Amino acid sequence: MLPDAPSVCVLRVNMNITEVQAFFIEFTATFVLFLTVAGAVDVQNENKHDSTPARIGLMIAGLVFAAEPFTGAGLNPARALSPAVLYNIWTSHWLYHFAPYAGMATAGILYRFVLDSNEKNSLYSFVNK
């Protein structure tokens, strides 16, 4: 069913960028995706849920179009693992696990302590008192 070429769905770093650059591309893409989802499910936005799936889908499409030429746009460790196991290609694979987790954690901390409208100690709540 699969072609012999080991390029189907395998995430690889573009040879014109370094692993550090690739890490920050994956980090930034996951960071933006997490902030989008966190903002979409925020209680403050509960009257704007009519187009949430479309917004998140378009955001993912935009992030994939932006990051794919450089890193393959993993955005998710589960997306990177299956092709790597199937084809036994582990080159630069570490960044497809650490970068998304670091991006999600950083975005979660930022959202919780700066942007969250429900958190009484957030910067957002402090400014809007």
Q: What is the pTM of this model?
A: 0.83
Q: Return left, alpha or beta for 28; rule: phi > 0 is left, psi -120 to 50 is alpha, else beta.
A: alpha
Domain positions in the chain are: 19-127
Q: List b or e across 9-24, with b for residues whose CB sees 16 or more CB atoms inside 10 angstroms.
A: ebbbbeeeeeeeebbb
| Class of the domain covering 19-127 | mainly alpha
At 124, is the pLDDT very low, low, confident or very high (cuts 50, 70, 90)?
A: low
pLDDT tens figures, 1-51? 656 665 667 788 899 999 999 999 999 999 999 999 888 887 777 787 778
pLDDT 10s digits, 71-120: 988 898 888 888 888 888 888 889 999 999 999 999 998 888 877 766 66
